[in-house]
Structure 1
Amino acid sequence: MIFFFLTLLSCGSSIIVDANQRCACSEILLQEDCNTIMNCKWVNQKCQDYIYECQVEGQADIRTYICNWNSDLNRYEAQKFECSQFKNLYDCSRLKPHCFWNSTEMCNDFTSCQDYNEQYCPIYNKNCSIQDKICIDGLQQCENYKSEQTCRGIQSGEQECLWSNDNQCKGQSLVDCTSLTGFKVCDVNLIECKKNAQGNCESLTCSDKKQENDCTNARIVKHGEQIFYLCVWQNGQCYEAINAKHLNRETCSKQTAANYKWVNNNCQACQTLQPKILDRQLDGYVEYETQIVIMYLSTFILSNIAFFILCIE
């Protein structure tokens, strides 16, 4: 919260959207926006709160179920899946930490570290690490890796192995972009960072976006948060937006992570923002662009998921 307040002070009138929050369902007036927001559903010509829930009978392992929409019954249903049914790496990877792509180019439940090659070694999801190009049991201390090529993986739940400017493999907690100052890389784990003229790592800004189709937002990197500057394309350059007038009916909610709503032919800030994952929500979820894939996960598994990556275009 302190970080968010300081950011507001430093960026003046720039618009900041929080991808962990969304507009209250009751404020949404468009059906197309309502039905793309988690925990909202269009009912009786209104956008209303809705809990996406799937029931699993008996003592079944809920980690082997996904929650899918049954259009015939007009409801979500728990559907059992087997990792082996996923035939490509992309589909298999979406079901981590349950399914893994192994050395035989097949999707299966996790077995042991030795069943995975260097490329697919689950170093971020299981207690596996790479030694002499072999996937082995147990996490390694970063200093055990002696070259930039082998310096990868984690040595604890918070520290990732990174190759430093003084040519050593060191464990580093990724809090924000400045955490990567002093290391060779400045863009790990899909975070938007850059090296400045002094060689320090800092967050990308709207002005770093050089293509119009990429000029939608710029992520403010902070561990556990998904906060963005709203960007606007003007006169061939990308700037931080000071209002949302450039957004239309189709882009208003989408490009502001549902922090704004379309009202009276204008894109306006929502009066009430709520967490995208409610305390009473029983399902975990992963959101890819405008399509929502709901995964039925236990509370234990949810507590161990570090990030929810929201891809906003």
Structure 2
Amino acid sequence: MHKPFILALSLVGAFACMCLDGLSAQTVKAAEKEFPTKPITLIIPVGAGGSHDLTARAVTSVAANYLGQPIIVQLKPGGGGAIGSEIVAKASPDGYTLLFGGMGWSTTYPAVEGRSKGPDDLTAVCRINYSPIIIACRPDMPFKTFREMLAYAKANPDKLIFANTGPWGAADLPWKMIVKQTGIKTKNVPYDGGGPALLAVLGGHADVIGGLISYVHPNVKSGKLRALAVLDTKRDGSLPDVPTAKEEGVNVVNLMWRAVLAPKGTPRPVIDKLAQAFKQMTEDKTVVTMIKQFGDDIQYLGPDEFGKLWREEFEAQKELGKLLKK
């Protein structure tokens, strides 16, 4: 075959590839512009009935009004949040599979144990809100205050059963901090999320829970739980008579956020469209009313601001984990 002919074929091939690349880029941009064209899946990596389940369902109940498509909530519990997080991290980065992230499985667990998925594997879309951990017990326990609980635990080593929300999760980390500061010895039992942990306490299988206001508050009001302390710098407005742990002599503060996360590599236009839609959802009067009924508020943060905060917390949790393991 003559060299000029070979050269001509090569040039034609190169031109065809360039055209295909151009068409591919145009197709991607068109898809980003039209997003979403089908329902979106939001995975919650813990069990039903906890604060993340309640909050996610409240917020996404109006999703179609702002995205033109519904958001379908799916529970994928297991591994302290690692299973659901892994599913999202491996999903196509197109915005159609999202994770409802939490401080425990999206920050502490990957930072301290290297399990679950954190900011190296996922991308921030937005923070929905955050709330403090409430230490509460069954009303039939022989103590009525946080100080009395500590005294009981010291007098009865390994008798008090604490129900946590998973390894290094929202309740596990602060309880470890309380144990380290006070020297008490307890049984620390992990469950796959706040819902299962709550059921364990209500069912008499555990004595104390570290839970979020959204599911602790209604059970305190109904008399099914007794609130002992709030792990915040100030008392919570929905439970004004409950002291902070610091007021009770233990300096532990722990706030649990709820956020929407996407697979790494999700295009920025898609992230921005999702973030804007979630902002509108959190401002919807129906959603605001539902969240307030849980005893919570909305504290929205966009992808850049929350992404920076998430990374800072991730690095801080690494150091805290080292201290608690000593």
**Bigger helix share:** 2
What TM-score do you get using the length of structure 1 for normalisation? 0.23
- Is the radius of gyration larger for structure 1 or structure 2? 2
By relative contact order (CA 8 Å, sep 6+), the higher-ranking structure is 2
TM-score by length of 2: 0.23
